[in-house]
Amino acid sequence: MRFTILLCFLTVCFARPAFPLAAEAPLHGLWVWKTPSVLMPAGAAEKLRDFAKAHDINEIYVSVSRRDDLAHEAPLIALIDRLHQAHIRVEALLDSIDADEAGQPRDSFLALARTIVQFNETHPQSRFDGIHLDIEPHQRAENKGAGNLGFLSGLIETFRGVRAIAGAAHLIVDADIPNKLLKGDLEQRKALLNSVDRVTLMLYELSSPDDGKSDDSKVRKLQNAAERYLSMAYAGLDDTHLAPMIIGLRTPDYRDKLPNMLKSVDERQSAQSHYLGWAWHCYNDQLK
């Protein structure tokens, strides 16, 4: 009995502080692409951390590829440590244009997801908190066009495969999705929203900095679009385990107005039960 009590005490005292599976809303995310290049300059990790803190960002998606160095001395590990010290979650951002396809494309992508789990096992003090998926089969020519969702079933299978790998390691899975996927029928939307822990809607190209519209009209357009797609996603679904939604916006659509646009989404959607927060695409634009 005494040994059991001592073991529990040591576990509580010395275990790495756990970041919650689903942090308190609202979540505020940030994409970082080409991570090795971003981290190359001296002080880059601190600069990224400070940018996140200045803009109320509490989770960051850092790109990881098969070519990246994940050794003990890699700058990525130092970045994860600094972000965790600032109470910022870190997700491994994995991208593909064809991982929805069975066979080598999907197998290779799932192998990369396993690499993230293995990284966490090797670096328990500098672990990722989740896996963020950016799989975009809708960009392929054969999948263009409104209502063309022939790729969706394969995409969902890949989502499920990653979730099975990640879930066993206590990692959440977040998936970027275009609004096109929300136009599927009830069963398609149900399958999609049950395949991952969270979805991030890429709500892009609603406005342009040079379209002559006022800031107020752009805010109203964004708020109405976010509300419309949130309603569309969950219409007719009452499953309590559906993935909640983050709204993603990008810098080219609003330039320096983007922080205010993101804030406006929180203000309008915070009471929506399926709304989880916003995400900013992307940090790389700040480095140009």
Residue 15 included in any domain:
no
Residue 31 included in any domain:
yes
Residues 6+ apart with CB under 8 A from 128: 80, 90, 91, 92, 116, 119, 120, 171
Strand 198-202, strand 59-63: pairing:
unpaired
Give the lowest-confidence range in 5-19, 56-70, 90-104: 5-19
Tell me how far apart the alpha carbons of residues 184 and 233 are, in angstroms, rounded to a whole number: 9
Looking at the structure of the chain, the number of domains it has is 1
Which residues are registered as beta bridge partners of 278?
28, 247
pLDDT digit string, tens, across residues 162-175: 999 999 999 999 99
Residues 242-257: what's their mean pLDDT? Answer: 98
pTM confidence score = 0.91
Residue 8 included in any domain:
no
Tell me how far apart the alpha carbons of residues 12 and 227 are, in angstroms, rounded to a whole number: 42
pLDDT digit string, tens, across residues 46-94: 999 999 999 999 999 999 998 887 776 689 999 999 999 999 999 999 9
For residue 232, give both structure tokens.
């569309």
Residue 181 included in any domain:
yes
Give the lowest-confidence range in 7-11, 67-71, 197-201: 7-11
Domain range enclosing 173: 25-287
Q: Residue 68 belongs to a domain with what CATH number?
A: 3.20.20.80
Residues 3-24: what's their mean pLDDT? Answer: 40
Residue 2 included in any domain:
no
Residues 6+ apart with CB under 8 A from 40: 75
